[in-house]
Every structure is written in C-alpha cells, then in structure tokens.
C-alpha cells in the first residue's frame, strides 16, 4: 500500500483520485484550491476534488500558497510515499515536490513535450491536432518538463470539444496513474527524458483567446469554437453586440449561397431559416448552427435568426474593431 498525497482541483482530477482509492492505496490527504466565490450570490463553492475527497473521508488541505511553511509542516507530518498531481492549478515548490519518499508525479493531458502548460486539451483542439493523450511525468521545477514514466495516445474526434475530450482523457489518466503508481512502488518504473527541442506551450486561457479572426480559414475558426467550448467561448461582434459562437461546421462552397464571387472575410453570406453562412479566409465558408447573444440564452440558428433578423449586406467584426 502506497501512502499518497493527492493534489487536484477540477472535475478532470476526480477520476484519478477515485482510482487511487479503489485500488487500495492510502490517500492520506487531498490538497486542493481554496473554496471560491461564484455566481450571483457570490457564495463559496468547494472544488470537485474537495467534494470527492470528503465523500471518502479523506482529509482536505487548502493552502492559499503552496510555499506556506505551515503547509509544508503538515505535508511532512503525513509521511507520504508519493505525491500525485492532476490539474491542481498552482506550481509546487521544490520542498513540496521532494517531501514524498518516491517524489511527485503528474497526470498531464497531452503527449509531451507538446502542450506544456495549463490548457493542453483546449490548445490541441484549437491547433487542429488529430490526436492527443496522457503523459505521466515526474515533476521538476520547470513546468511539465520532467522525465516521462508512461503515456497513452487518444484520438481527437471530428466533433470533440474541450469538455468532451477532457472527460475522455480524465478516465485514461486515471487508468494510467494506477499502473504507474504500481510500477513506482515495485521499483520497476522506467523514466525517459523529454526531447525539450520539440516542446510547445499551452498557456492559460483568457477571454481574448476567443476573438474570432475571420481572415483565418473556416476550419481554423471551427477548431477555435470547439477548443474554447464550454469556456471562454469563441466570439464575434455584429453592430457592436457580442455573440458567442457555440457550434459550427465547414460548409462546401457549392452549397452556400452568395458565393458567385469571393467575399471579404467576415461577410454574412446567408442568414435565413437554418442557413447562416459566413465568409472566412482562403475563400472558405463557415456554417453557424448555435449562437448566444451576450447575457442571453443559447439558440439554434433558426431560433436565433427569428429573434435577431439580419439585413444583408452585413459583416461580423472583431472585438478590436467594435470599440
């Protein structure tokens, strides 16, 4: 039996925690981010990991800072064999990483060395990748740069969004974690250094990442919509109103109206019934199927156009052009 201290915060981390418990390892504590205020009432909400840990009677630690000496003392007193990190959300200092006897490992949702950072699932979809996966690594000071212990490849489906793909990877990560813990405990784990020359970054998402550049080909715009669902969403402007783009497909030019001659990027080519076509870069066309006016409910194209009729000619603009 391995004494594990588990670091995690969002739903992605919960399957890994559950698998450790089901596998018979002793999770001596779950370390998660402090409760945060959300919603209209600004009520405090616990993390998904905190809820899962308390359901299993696992002690929960919520330090504001991972380098707090008091937290370090708590960690040392637990005498953990292994630290496991799954989307904790904060960098851990060296003293914390090295407190467990077997060190600290990380369940990372990409095929390292590609997509090191906080948003590997989203960035992979945005980039149009056809596959991703889980890499188990030993944590070191440099972000996601430690030696690899195991990996598994997973395809990215044509209609995958960041939430559907993340759920699939969470399950794969839990399976791979269990086998990796067993290999570490038995002394049979093999570590492989990453090729650091091939490293790419997946920085934390911001609202600005969602701004649609209509000069990009339709496939890239669609990948942006998929990668930023369910947050922060791809968005565009029409008549100074911001709209979230929730679902779209690439439309063959032969079936889209108004394409006798090339149209400037962002031009709305057709907006009636279920047909909502927008000109993109390289003379490609995007068909919008679901939108959401800012602060309102999400709508399928037909319902959106019924309540928001668009008189042509009209064009979408970027956020920068709307101010």
What CATH number is attached to the domain comprising 37?
Answer: 3.40.50.170
Count the helix, strand and coil residues of the chain and give each as a percent rounded to the nearest 5: 30, 30, 40
User: Which pLDDT score is estimated for 252?
Assistant: 79
Domain boundary among 151, 169, 198: 198
Residues of the chain above pLDDT 70, percent: 96
Q: Are residues 250 and 295 in the same domain?
A: yes
User: Which pLDDT score is estimated for 262?
Assistant: 78
What's the pLDDT tens digit per position in 257-282?
555 557 999 999 999 999 999 999 99
Q: Are residues 89 and 161 in the same domain?
A: yes
How many domains does the structure of the chain reveal? Answer: 2
Reading the block at residue 227, the tokens are: 């990668």
Q: Are residues 187 and 57 in the same domain?
A: yes
Q: Are residues 36 and 155 in the same domain?
A: yes
The whole domain housing 191 covers 3-198
What distance in Å separates the CA atoms of residue 71 and residue 64, rounded to the nearest whole number? 9
Q: Are residues 94 and 231 in the same domain?
A: no
Structural contact between residues 99 and 191, judged by C-beta atoms closer than 8 angstroms:
no
Report residues of the chain scoring pLDDT below 50: 320, 322-323
User: Which pLDDT score is estimated for 172?
Assistant: 98
What's the pLDDT tens digit per position in 114-142?
999 999 999 999 999 999 999 999 999 99
Q: Are residues 153 and 7 in the same domain?
A: yes
Q: Are residues 92 and 126 in the same domain?
A: yes
Burial of 193 (0-12, 13-18, 19+ CB in 10 A): exposed
User: Which pLDDT score is estimated for 285?
Assistant: 94
My answer on whether omega of the bond before 230 falls inside 30° of 0, hence cis, is yes
User: Which pLDDT score is estimated for 323?
Assistant: 40
Q: Are residues 189 and 269 in the same domain?
A: no
Q: Are residues 189 and 267 in the same domain?
A: no
What distance in Å separates the CA atoms of residue 116 and residue 200, rounded to the nearest whole number? 6
User: Which pLDDT score is estimated for 256?
Assistant: 56
- CATH number of 239's domain: 3.10.25.10
Residues near 209 by Cβ (< 8 Å), separated by ≥ 6? 228, 232
Reading the block at residue 208, the tokens are: 């600005």
Question: DSSP letters along 165-196, please?
Answer: HHHHHHHHHHHHHHHHHHHHHHT----B---G
Q: Are residues 179 and 217 in the same domain?
A: no
What's the pLDDT tens digit per position in 288-306?
999 999 889 999 999 999 9
Q: Are residues 83 and 150 in the same domain?
A: yes
What's the pLDDT tens digit per position in 151-168?
999 999 999 999 999 999
Structural contact between residues 307 and 292, judged by C-beta atoms closer than 8 angstroms:
no
Domain boundary among 158, 180, 198: 198
Domain boundary among 178, 198, 218: 198
Q: Are residues 193 and 211 in the same domain?
A: no
């Amino acid at each position: 039996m391995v004494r594990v201290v588990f670091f995690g915060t969002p739903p992605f981390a919960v399957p890994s925690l559950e698998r450790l418990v089901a596998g018979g390892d002793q999770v001596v504590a779950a370390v998660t981010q402090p409760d945060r205020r959300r919603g209209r009432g600004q009520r405090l909400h616990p993390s998904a990991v905190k809820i899962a840990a308390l359901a299993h009677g696992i002690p929960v630690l919520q330090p504001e800072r991972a380098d707090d000496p008091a937290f370090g003392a708590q960690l040392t007193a637990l005498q953990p064999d292994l630290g496991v990190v799954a989307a904790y959300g904060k960098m851990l200092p060296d003293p914390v990483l090295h407190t467990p006897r077997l060190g600290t490992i990380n369940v990372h949702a990409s095929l390292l060395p590609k997509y090191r950072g906080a948003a590997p699932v989203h960035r992979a979809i945005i980039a149009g990748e056809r596959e991703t996966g889980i890499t188990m690594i030993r944590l070191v000071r440099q972000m996601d740069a430690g030696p690899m212990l195991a990996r598994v490849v997973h395809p990215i489906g044509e209609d995958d969004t960041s939430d559907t793909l993340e759920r699939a990877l969470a399950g794969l990560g839990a399976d791979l974690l269990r086998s990796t813990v067993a290999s570490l405990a038995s002394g049979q784990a093999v570590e492989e250094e990453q090729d650091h020359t091939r490293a790419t970054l997946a920085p934390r998402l911001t609202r600005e990442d969602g701004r649609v550049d209509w000069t990009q080909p339709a496939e890239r715009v669609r990948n942006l919509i998929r990668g930023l669902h369910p947050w922060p969403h791809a968005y565009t402007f029409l008549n100074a109103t911001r709209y979230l783009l929730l679902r779209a497909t690439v439309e063959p030019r032969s079936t889209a109206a108004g394409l006798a001659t090339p149209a400037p990027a962002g031009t709305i080519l057709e907006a009636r019934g279920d047909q909502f076509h927008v000109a993109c870069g390289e003379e490609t066309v995007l068909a919008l199927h679901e939108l959401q006016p800012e602060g309102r409910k999400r709508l399928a194209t037909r319902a959106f156009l019924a309540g928001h009729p668009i008189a042509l000619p009209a064009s979408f603009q970027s956020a920068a052009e709307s101010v």
